[in-house]
Structure 1
Amino acid sequence: MPNIKPIHTDADYENALELMGELWDAEEGTEAHDQLELLGILVDKYEEQRFPIAAPDPVAAVLFYMEQNGIERAELGRVLGSRSRASEFINRKAGLSLRQIRILHANWNIPADILIQPVEQTG
């Protein structure tokens, strides 16, 4: 069985991915499957550190949700309290208030940690 070790470099990472490919079809309950699981944990940890993913922009998240669910901008206006408030948000003129974050989270189930991110404001 291969020697599994921490992943510190891109070369270690590539080797771990290759070994995972070799172990991919290992049957559950076998030593090979245990090694595959350990490698998965190590690769995941390395990827989180090496290739961090920033939280999505709140405007982009809301627009994506609306597009995926067929929601018109007028509905966003109703949720946020007014069409002008929704327009300010969508056009990056203003961020969301805590009350609006709570409403969007409760009604549309958009994670609050995304909605609370600062909006890159224009003008």
Structure 2
Amino acid sequence: MDILPIKSQRDYRKVLKEIEGLMMAKRNTPEGDRLDVLVTLVEAWERKHYPMDLPDPVEAIKYHMDQNGLQPRDLIPFIGSRNRVHEVLNRRRSLTLKMIWRLHEGLGIPAESLIKMGQEQGQAA
């Protein structure tokens, strides 16, 4: 199995085309093994050249609410009073470490998404 590293956009496109041709390969066959290796190479290339930022904490919460049919009142056990929930969702109050922990443990929202600093907080003065 001769596989070369992806060094350019041209190599990347070529490997994607090859992966497309191998999509129906069965596991534990030479073609299936080749597919696994090529996919791993592409994932590494994409992580390096197309990094994805984590969502803003409030957007992560809103997305989770939307996906799970939750209302703001459903966040009270994790954030606090109804007023506090609305302050967080309207960006008038930051999440505390306790809120982050509860949202992560109780709702399964990735902690990494909840602790990301906002644009305005991350910029130097």
Deviation of 1:52 (Å): 0.9
Counterpart in 2 of 1:81? 80
Match runs of 1:11-90 below 5 Å: 11-90=10-89
**1:110 and 2:91 equivalent?**
no
Number of equivalenced pairs? 120
Contact kept? 1:58, 1:116, Cα under 8 Å: yes
Q: Extract unaligned runs of 5+ from structure 1.
A: none
Mapped to 1, the partners of 2:23 and 2:95 lie a distance apart of 45
Mapped to 2, the partners of 1:19 and 1:53 lie a distance apart of 25
Counterpart in 1 of 2:96? 97
Deviation of 1:78 (Å): 4.3
Deviates further, 48-57 or 74-83: 74-83
Contact kept? 1:104, 1:110, Cα under 8 Å: yes
Secondary structure of the residue aligned to 1:32 is: helix
Inter-CA distance 29–71: structure 2 relative to 1 (3 Å threshold) = closer
Mapped to 1, the partners of 2:16 and 2:32 lie a distance apart of 14
Secondary structure of the residue aligned to 2:101 is: helix
Deviates further, 72-81 or 86-95: 72-81
TM-score (norm 2): 0.83
Q: Runs ≥4 in structure 1, deviation > 4 angstroms?
A: none
For the aligned residue pairs, the C-alpha RMSD in angstroms reads 1.9
Q: Extract unaligned runs of 5+ from structure 2.
A: 121-125
Inter-CA distance 46–78: structure 2 relative to 1 (3 Å threshold) = same
TM-score (norm 1): 0.85
Mapped to 2, the partners of 1:107 and 1:22 lie a distance apart of 42
Instruction: Give the partner amino acid of 1:71.
Output: L
